[in-house]
Amino acid sequence: MTNTSFMARFGARLVTNGYAILPIGPGTKKPGRFQRGAWADYPEWNRHAERGTTEVEVATWSSWPDCGIGIVGGAVAAVDIDIKDDADLALRIEQLARSRLGDTPALRIGRPPKRMLVYRTAEPFRGIKRHPLEVLCLGQQFVAYAIHPDTGAPYAWPEEGLADLDITDLPEITAEAATAFLDEAYALLPEVLRQRGLSAVAAAGDVERIHSQIGTLPAIEAALAWLPNAELDYDSWMRVGMALKGALGEAGADLFADWSAQAAKDVPATTMKAWASFKPDRIGAGTIYHLAIERGWQPEPDLRLDGSLPDGGDHPAAGLLARLDVAAAATAVSAPTPAYALAIPDGLVGDLTDYMLSTARRPQPLLSLGASLCAIGALMGRNYRTESNLRSNLYVVGIADSGSGKNHAREIINETFFEAGLAHHLGGNKIASGAGLLTALHRQPAILFQIDEFGMFLSAAADRKRSPRHITEILDNMTELYTSAGGIFLGAEYANRDGTNERRDINQPCLCVYGTTTPLHFWGALQGANVVDGSLARFLILPSDEDYPDENIAVGIRQASPELINGLQLIASGGGAPKGNLAGKTADQNTAVNPMIVPMTEDARARFRQLSIELTEELRAAAGTAFTAILARIGENALKLALIVAVGRDPVRPEIEISAAEWAIGFVRHYAQRTMEAVERHVADTETEAHLKRLKEIIRGSGAKGITKSEITRASQWLKSRDRDEILLTLIESGDITTGMRDTGGRRAMIYRLLA
């Protein structure tokens, strides 16, 4: 019997009868989840109180070994008679409940003489407790079918079980009737059974998780006034004492002594001895506040509760008061973090970007900016460097859907480079092999490659199992070239050195790559190894926020301004006077070059120093994850962008100022964060994981309204039906998605919704 799944036997019948159910872990009385071959706690079970149980959930839970069944309070309420040593008294209170609340057929016995009666509610209400009696309801649950952890036997329903009773068969009760019954029943209890301690309903979002452990003396004094020490039991006395010490430290000793002295049995020496022994870890101010609020205390709006906040900070009780439906007229709400706003820098970077936007049929500001940074970075190559010998070589990927106008920036760069006599800085539209890439750099060490369908290119270059070596060498060479810009890149050695296979060394190569791709092709091309080994971290990933911006139908013949052309030529010449069509002809790959050092203001240097400290802490926190490589490149990429912006402002006497530093750091930080989020959502190591993440994105795209099974099927026709069903069950079991019901065309349909 102990191996029976009660969920498989009774789950579907209970749902049909109108009850909201949830899984109970074997050998416990609490909700559980079966994950990765083992039972674990189910802390988010309260979400099942908000809607009915779905067929998919029942099917999933029914496959879990030894799964018990709990009933979610709200639509039903349960009178829990927790009297274990007096069978006659337990029976008398049961008879009183039947007399006052109705003769319910639903009686559950776990460990006699304890018993529970189940009723239907007119309106859901919060649970009411008069220990050892309680009416369980909203925010609570009780076990219906499972093995009792103490007796080792199944819970019994002597009359009729809920699996055999429609919810409408239960007598209906109200909160007022339940309260009146408890008051009357409590009067029947002998003094020895009456609660002398402080208890509180453990509601979701417990205050001890809302507030800091540290409190303030005025707030603690105000709350403690609602907790009189009228001969409390020892456990409650200890609990309050530890909470006071956790909230105030040694400053709470006198307060505890005065509070303890309210009881006639108080012994001051014992009180102080107990105080000295208290070593609170998590318990603190939240416990005092919670107990007081349960007894009617309402904190004044100007009362500072959290002792870890400075005076004048936001009112820390705002969330708590809202949860308890307490008037919070004057509670302050923290200002939301402002959304990132893309800013186009000034100088030649901004001029080239503006030219792209003004001539585009569908302007793409972010993609145009990324292309401009790459283009100017290539022209600067071997001409400028930072004080730390960092160069302007950039790898940028612009991501947008097909037909969004992502090709326009590449066209503008080609045109302006040809017009300025700088076409020798342009690589081909494709890179055929790793050797071909090095040949191009050997010919022109400062070069820009613009690659369309970059996701397809990356898919081939990153696939070491199926792609030929000359293709995978492209990504290998790009990874190595990225860190060789400030020194000498040593080419490969060949066994046959006949003149065609000579080693090709490149002095201070500056390779810039600007690729455009669709989201599906780009993220589908990557595997977890690309994140861990740092190859992805070298790219600035720029996803468009608007795939299809408003069309500019007034676009006509385009012509770059002379100022823009002259500025590009000036940068390519390293700040010297441009010389017509020969402008920007850099020294060859073997010529020693001496780039201009671009200085940094003290403000900018301090800002980058601060960034280094911040990133060190973040790297330590992220140790062991796939994101350390991305975090480690933020400072380097930000300094490169600041260098490019500074040279774009003044190619002759550039200087990295605080404005360039702030812009570059904000830009790189924002898009690094978005990259890490996208990796979590899209990058997969196996085909199964890739299918799971794609299906999850389909559900995510439906938002709060959810998506029906038929809609999922239409959007994922690349999946076999069986695979789709298995993925959905996996996502439900892992807690990533939930199910619910919604009206669709006059009938109710089950929907899937992503959990926040």
Residue 614 belongs to some domain of the structure: no
pLDDT in tens, 700-716: 888 888 888 888 998 88
In this model, does residue 513 exceed pLDDT 90?
yes
pLDDT confidence of residue 330 = 30
Residue 749 belongs to some domain of the structure: yes
pLDDT in tens, 113-129: 999 999 999 999 988 88
CA–CA distance, 479 with 458 (Å, rounded to integer): 13
In this model, does residue 527 exceed pLDDT 70?
no
Q: How many other CB atoms sit within 10 Å of the CB of residue 27?
A: 15
Q: How many other CB atoms sit within 10 Å of the CB of residue 318?
A: 17
Q: Check whether residue 159 and residue 185 sit in a common domain.
A: yes
Residue 73 belongs to some domain of the structure: yes
Choose between 690 and 110: higher pLDDT: 110
Q: Check whether residue 289 and residue 368 sit in a common domain.
A: no
Which phi-psi region, left, alpha or beta, contains residue 597 (left: φ > 0; alpha: ψ -120 to 50)? beta
Residue 576 belongs to some domain of the structure: yes
pLDDT confidence of residue 449 = 95
pLDDT confidence of residue 581 = 41
Q: What CATH number is associated with residue 145?
A: 3.30.2250
Report the mean per-residue pLDDT for the chain: 83
Looking at 652-746, which runs of residues are DSSP E strands?
A: 707-708, 737-744
In this model, does residue 641 exceed pLDDT 90?
yes
Residue 720 belongs to some domain of the structure: yes
Residue 386 belongs to some domain of the structure: yes
Q: Which of 155, 117, 154 is nearest to 136 (CA)?
A: 117
In this model, does residue 273 exceed pLDDT 70?
yes
Q: Check whether residue 265 and residue 386 sit in a common domain.
A: no
Last residue of a domain, one of 579, 597, 615: 597
pLDDT band at 8 (very low <50, low <70, confident <90, very high): very high
73 neighbors 138 (Cβ within 8 angstroms): yes
235 neighbors 306 (Cβ within 8 angstroms): no
Last residue of a domain, one of 563, 597, 631: 597
Going from the C-alpha of 138 to that of each of 74, 208, 487, the distances in angstroms are 4, 20, 68
Q: Check whether residue 292 and residue 395 sit in a common domain.
A: no
pLDDT confidence of residue 664 = 95
Ranges 134-148, 217-231, 529-543, 601-615: which has the least confidence? 529-543
399 neighbors 542 (Cβ within 8 angstroms): yes
Q: Check whether residue 592 and residue 721 sit in a common domain.
A: no
Ranges 13-17, 294-298, 608-612, 733-737: which has the least confidence? 294-298
Q: Check whether residue 182 and residue 232 sit in a common domain.
A: no
> What are the helix and strand counts (H, E) for the chain?
26, 22
Q: Check whether residue 234 and residue 189 sit in a common domain.
A: no
97 neighbors 181 (Cβ within 8 angstroms): yes
Q: Is 750 helix (H, G, I), strand (E, B) or coil?
A: strand
Q: Check whether residue 304 and residue 381 sit in a common domain.
A: no
In this model, does residue 554 exceed pLDDT 90?
no
Could you tell me how far CA 216 lies from the centroid of its own chain? 32
Round to the nearest angstrom and report the end-to-end CA distance of the chain. 38
pLDDT confidence of residue 329 = 33
Please compute Rg for the chain using Cα positions. 35
Range of the domain at 29: 6-193
Q: Is 285 helix (H, G, I), strand (E, B) or coil?
A: helix
pLDDT in tens, 325-356: 433 333 333 334 456 788 999 999 999 999 99
Residues 6+ apart with CB under 8 A from 233: 196, 197
pLDDT confidence of residue 44 = 72
Residue 682 belongs to some domain of the structure: no
What single string gives the DSSP state of each residue in 91-123?
HHHHHHHHHHH---S-EEBSSTT-EEEEEEESS
Last residue of a domain, one of 142, 167, 193: 193
Residues 6+ apart with CB under 8 A from 85: none
pTM for the structure as a whole: 0.56
Q: Check whether residue 162 and residue 242 sit in a common domain.
A: no
* pLDDT-above-70 percentage for the chain: 85
In this model, does residue 495 exceed pLDDT 60?
no
Residues 6+ apart with CB under 8 A from 111: 84, 148, 150, 151
What are the backbone angles phi and psi of residue 751, rounded to the nearest 5°?
Answer: -125, 160
Residue 470 belongs to some domain of the structure: yes
**Token pair 């050998």: residue:** 27
In this model, does residue 196 exceed pLDDT 60?
no
Q: Check whether residue 235 and residue 318 sit in a common domain.
A: yes
78 neighbors 142 (Cβ within 8 angstroms): yes
Q: What CATH number is associated with residue 739?
A: 1.10.10.10
Q: Check whether residue 164 and residue 213 sit in a common domain.
A: no
Choose between 322 and 290: higher pLDDT: 290
- Each as own residue / partner, the long-range contacts of residues 152-158 (CB below 8 Å, 24 or more positions apart, any chain) are 152/2, 154/1, 154/6, 155/108, 155/109, 155/110, 156/108, 156/109, 156/110, 157/106, 157/107, 157/108, 157/109, 158/107, 158/109
Ranges 140-154, 170-184, 351-365, 574-588: which has the least confidence? 574-588
pLDDT confidence of residue 276 = 87
Q: Count CA within 13 A, CB hemisphere, residue 450.
A: 23
Across the chain, which distance is largest between two alpha carbons, in Å? 108
pLDDT confidence of residue 195 = 57
pLDDT in tens, 154-178: 999 998 999 999 999 999 999 999 9
pLDDT in tens, 48-99: 877 788 888 888 899 899 999 999 999 999 999 999 889 999 999 999 999 9
pLDDT band at 546 (very low <50, low <70, confident <90, very high): confident
Q: Check whether residue 574 and residue 719 sit in a common domain.
A: no
52 neighbors 195 (Cβ within 8 angstroms): no
Q: Mean per-residue pLDDT for 714-741?
A: 82
CA–CA distance, 100 with 96 (Å, rounded to integer): 6
Q: Which of 527, 513, 538 is nearest to 447 (CA)?
A: 513
pLDDT band at 429 (very low <50, low <70, confident <90, very high): confident
pLDDT confidence of residue 718 = 83
pLDDT confidence of residue 210 = 35
What's the structural domain count of the chain? Answer: 4
Choose between 418 and 268: higher pLDDT: 418
Query: Which of the listed ranges 156-170, 398-412, 462-476 does the model predict with the highest average pLDDT?
Result: 156-170
CA–CA distance, 169 with 103 (Å, rounded to integer): 11
Helix or strand (DSSP H, E) at 754: strand 747-754
